[in-house]
Amino acid sequence: MADHEITCLSCAQASRVPDDKLGSGAKCGTCGASLFPTKVIDVDAEVLTKASRTDTLPLVVDFWAPWCGPCRSMAPEFAKAASALRGKVRFVKLNTEENPKVGQRHNIRSIPTMVRFARGRERGRTTGALRAPQIQSFATTR
């Protein structure tokens, strides 16, 4: 049984989680927050940087902004995909309006843009609003 390194989306501390605990109540050893929350969380630059570099599970990031109509319409679909893949892929959102430098660093030119990270590297990118099955396919493509 392998352990996975998972970054807490609340405090950015890394925790080791065994395979059999993925998605089933694993909590951060530092702050006690769920490592697999039931709702998609908006993260800040620090959490995104650490999780995208260190997590051993794939991480899908929705770069969005509150004024973006397609972003708002895709949000429930993103949440459905996150729920369906809980414990296999982690899903987070990053508000590019509040974090413009992060958007620039990741070369986000249009929103919504989803980026898939795995083992410290960008492994995929797609722009435009998608439905839950398309998001799930994107999230699990190697």
Q: Which two tokens stand for residue 67?
A: 């004024």
CA dist., res. 51 & res. 5, Å (int): 9
- Alpha-carbon torsion angle 4, 5, 8, 12, nearest 10: -170
Catalytic residue positions, numbered: 68, 71
Pairing state between β 59-64 and 90-95:
parallel
